[in-house]
Amino acid sequence: MRFVKPLDTAILDEALKISPRLVTVEDNSLVGGFGSAVAEYTADKQTACKLLRLGIPDEFVEHGKSAQLYEQLNLNAEKIAEQILNWK
């Protein structure tokens, strides 16, 4: 998605036609973030969507270089791919 608000529901509807499983990845807080907006939309629409939300947990994160923080938070490319592959 290029933007979070307003939520592009047309793209979500198209994605849900392809697969009932969606993954959201954001380099921001999971609480109240993009993944939450997608979860609300799919719940309100009463879809059978299975959603994996990846992002920053609702806890204090130390300061550091982006690459180090992404690795620590499992948000680098390798960790994201691993989480998706292990997702049941």
Structural domains of the chain, ranges and CATH numbers in brackets: 9-85 (3.40.50.920)
pLDDT higher than threshold 90 for residue 53 = yes
Phi-psi label, residue 74: left if phi above 0, alpha if psi -120 to 50, beta otherwise: left
Q: What is the mean pLDDT of the chain?
A: 94
Say if residue 78's pLDDT is above 80. Answer: yes
Annotate 45-61 with b (16+ C-beta within 10 A) or e (fewer). eeeebebebbbbeeeee
- 4 has pLDDT over 90: no
pLDDT value at 2 more than 80: no
- The structure tokens 């292990």 sit at 86
Q: How large is the average pLDDT for residues 40-47? A: 96
Structure pTM? 0.89
| pLDDT value of residue 33 | 93
Residue 85 has pLDDT above 80, yes or no: yes
- Indicate whether 43 pLDDT > 80: yes
